[in-house]
Amino acid sequence: NAGVMQNPRHLVRRRGQEARLRCSPMKGHSHVYWYRQLPEEGLKFMVYLQKENIIDESGMPKERFSAEFPKEGPSILRIQQVVRGDSAAYFCASSPQTGTASTDTQYFGPGTRLTVL
């Protein structure tokens, strides 16, 4: 049973370019969370998605960031016009929703490390 898959593992972009980060949840999981780990900071929640729905985007920056989880295919975190401050590790987690969202275990992927030059 493959775990949460994220690609690419490393991504380098120049300022002003777009970054697309992909996340495939564990088999049978229909809930995806994105977190960001900035240098010298802890992990911060960004967005929670179910298939074709954004449930909670309270942690997303207001501009340049968007996320989707289509009916088919991986979840995508998109960052437009990247700036140096976007350099961070971005982690995806999935959960099976066997109970309530608050009690389910989230399983994390290996992360995508974004470097903006």
CA atoms within 13 A on the CB side of 34: 33
Interaction between residue 101 and other proteins (CB under 8 A): yes
Site size with other proteins, rule: CB under 8 A: 31
Stretch of 22-30, 65-73, 78-86, 106-114 contacting other proteins, by CB under 8 A? 106-114
- E strands along 1-117, which residues? 5-7, 10-13, 19-24, 31-37, 43-50, 53-56, 65-68, 75-79, 88-95, 107-108, 112-116
- Give, as one character, the DSSP assignment of residue 87: -
Identified binder of other proteins from the candidate list 4, 32, 67, 116, rule CB under 8 A: 4
Identified binder of other proteins from the candidate list 15, 18, 28, 44, rule CB under 8 A: 44
The smaller minimum CB distance to other proteins, of residues 17 and 54, is found at: 54
Identified binder of other proteins from the candidate list 91, 94, 114, 116, rule CB under 8 A: 91
CA atoms within 13 A on the CB side of 114: 29
How far from chain centre, in Å, is Cα 58?
14
**Contact positions vs other proteins (CB under 8 A):** 4, 6, 31, 33, 35, 41-45, 48, 55-56, 58-59, 91, 93, 95, 100-111, 113
